[in-house]
């Protein structure tokens, strides 16, 4: 059995909320070697190392921090990940969890060091970079899995199977939203999710674009993105409210609203959902998913604490929960865990079940074609939509058109 070493690059919110606990669980099952985490500074690593929740859930488990925790916690080491990745034996796993605009450098560094990749979304901000990543990975027989965890929500898989069985006819009009809570503005987001780098659609809108493709197999061909500039508490400017119209290759239209603006006192950690109106034969069909309110209403005696917690809550049992199954520790459950596990298990199987480059390449093509795991080949539309969205938002919402083919590109409609 192969038990790969894993290096996570980035020690922020997503590493804390989803990646590290998932890795600890897989390690606990005896399927992983050492876990290393490299961040810009040691401070977030100290928080992860001192986490009471992790101590309770994963007693006796730990990770190796880079930079180590003995020095100045705020000294930045922007290039340390290069050394940490270079030290890894070939064909282990790098998990990419840095801010969006750094993904490309970290992924290319890891591929050139012959590492499999699990990257948080979005893979990169430009389709041409996704093509480069795809070519480098394929030439070396390495897996690149992009962590669109909504795909592993059971309801997404149910809709996909039923849509592809013809039960919903054809998608025509849709509306989706994902609004994060207002308090996000106070986090590290204000340092990087700024107007010149990103926007609310680029940050979270991609999930529902990805999901509509995942369910239907359709491809987005045009995007117009309207954004409202707003100030973060530190004065930086961001497009913190966005409204996108995405046109698909069958003429269907999806509206996507995103913001860092859902009220902090509202129940749930955010608000989100997808409605797809479809046409089949001589009847309409409907897919309607409330992805925030999942039927649970809890009124606590006090605020339970933790980011965004409220006294009245509508918690999601489905994304990421720690369950007490009798110990030792607690067991992660939900599609957040399943998504990380699926990609890592894919990399492990690739190493275990193939011998030689040609066989690995053949297996990679199968993974692309199966389409459950997002890869640079089968989810290139995501980078194109992102690029089109950026072009549109910076041009006052003008429509940007997507060209597929050998050299995919986007351009404003004349």
Ligand X SMILES: NC(=O)c1ccc[n+]([C@@H]2O[C@H](COP(=O)([O-])OP(=O)(O)OC[C@H]3O[C@@H](n4cnc5c(N)ncnc54)[C@H](O)[C@@H]3O)[C@@H](O)[C@H]2O)c1
Which residues would be at the binding site for ligand X (CB under 6 A)?
9-15, 38-41, 44, 78, 81, 97-100, 102, 120-121, 149, 188, 203
Of all residues in this chain, which one has the CB nearest to ligand X in the complex? 12
| C-alpha closest to that of 242 among 126, 389, 400, 391 | 389
SS3 399: coil
- Do β-strands 298-299 and 312-313 pair in parallel, antiparallel, or remain unpaired? antiparallel
All residues at 6 or more sequence positions from 52 whose CB lies less than 8 Å from its CB, including other chains:
none
Smallest distance from ligand X to CB 166, Å: 30
Cβ nearer to ligand X, comparing 102 with 113: 102
Smallest distance from ligand X to CB 272, Å: 10
Cβ nearer to ligand X, comparing 111 with 221: 111
Cβ nearer to ligand X, comparing 39 with 131: 39
Smallest distance from ligand X to CB 137, Å: 19
- Contact status, residue 174 vs residue 213, Cβ threshold 8 Å: no
Q: What are phi and psi of 110, to 5 degrees?
A: -70, -40
Distance between CA 57 and CA 40 in Å, rounded? Answer: 26
Smallest distance from ligand X to CB 14, Å: 4
Cβ nearer to ligand X, comparing 203 with 342: 203
Cβ nearer to ligand X, comparing 39 with 330: 39
Smallest distance from ligand X to CB 285, Å: 28
All residues at 6 or more sequence positions from 312 whose CB lies less than 8 Å from its CB, including other chains:
267, 297, 298, 299, 300
Smallest distance from ligand X to CB 352, Å: 27
Cβ nearer to ligand X, comparing 38 with 252: 38
Cβ nearer to ligand X, comparing 285 with 393: 393
- Extended beta strands in 73-137, E state: 93-96, 116-120
| C-alpha closest to that of 380 among 350, 408, 353, 351 | 408
- Contact status, residue 366 vs residue 354, Cβ threshold 8 Å: no
Smallest distance from ligand X to CB 277, Å: 25
CA distances for 399 relative to 194, 204, 225, 255, 336, angstroms: 22, 20, 8, 13, 33
């Amino acid at each position: 059995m192969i038990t790969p070493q894993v290096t996570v690059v980035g020690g922020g919110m997503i590493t804390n909320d989803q990646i590290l606990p998932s890795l600890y669980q897989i390690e606990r099952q005896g399927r992983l070697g050492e876990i290393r985490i490299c961040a810009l500074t040691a401070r977030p690593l100290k928080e992860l190392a001192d986490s009471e929740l992790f101590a309770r859930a994963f007693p006796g488990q730990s990770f190796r921090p880079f930079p180590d925790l003995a020095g100045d916690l705020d000294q930045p080491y922007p290039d340390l990940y290069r050394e940490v990745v270079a030290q890894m034996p070939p064909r282990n796993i790098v998990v990419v969890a840095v801010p969006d605009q750094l993904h490309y450098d970290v992924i290319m560094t890891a591929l050139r060091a012959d590492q499999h990749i699990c990257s948080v979304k979005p893979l990169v901000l430009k389709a041409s970079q996704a093509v480069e990543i795809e070519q480098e990975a394929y030439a070396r027989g390495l897996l690149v899995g992009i962590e669109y965890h909504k795909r592993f929500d059971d309801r997404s898989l149910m809709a996909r199977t039923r849509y592809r069985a013809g039960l919903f006819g054809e998608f025509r009009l849709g509306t989706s939203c994902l609004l994060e809570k207002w308090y996000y503005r106070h986090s590290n987001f204000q340092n990087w999710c700024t107007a010149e780098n990103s926007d609310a659609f680029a940050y979270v809108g991609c999930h529902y674009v990805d999901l509509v493709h995942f369910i239907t197999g359709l491809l987005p061909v045009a995007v117009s993105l309207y954004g409202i500039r707003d100030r973060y508490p530190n004065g930086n400017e961001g497009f913190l409210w966005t409204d996108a119209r995405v046109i698909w290759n069958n003429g269907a239209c999806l509206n996507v609203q995103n913001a860092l603006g859902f009220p902090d006192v509202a129940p749930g950690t955010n608000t989100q959902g997808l409605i797809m109106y479809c046409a089949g034969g001589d009847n309409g069909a409907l897919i309607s998913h409330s992805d925030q309110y999942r039927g649970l209403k809890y009124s606590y005696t006090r605020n339970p604490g933790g980011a965004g917690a409220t006294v009245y809550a509508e918690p999601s049992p489905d994304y990421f929960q720690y369950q007490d199954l009798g110990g030792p520790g607690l067991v992660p459950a939900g599609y957040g865990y399943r998504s990380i596990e699926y990609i890592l298990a894919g990399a492990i199987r690739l190493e275990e079940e193939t011998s030689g480059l040609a066989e690995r390449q053949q297996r990679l093509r199968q993974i692309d074609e199966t389409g459950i795991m997002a890869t640079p080949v089968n989810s290139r539309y995501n980078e194109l939509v992102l690029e089109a969205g950026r072009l549109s938002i910076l041009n006052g919402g003008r429509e940007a058109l997507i060209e597929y083919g050998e050299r995919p590109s986007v351009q404003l409609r004349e």
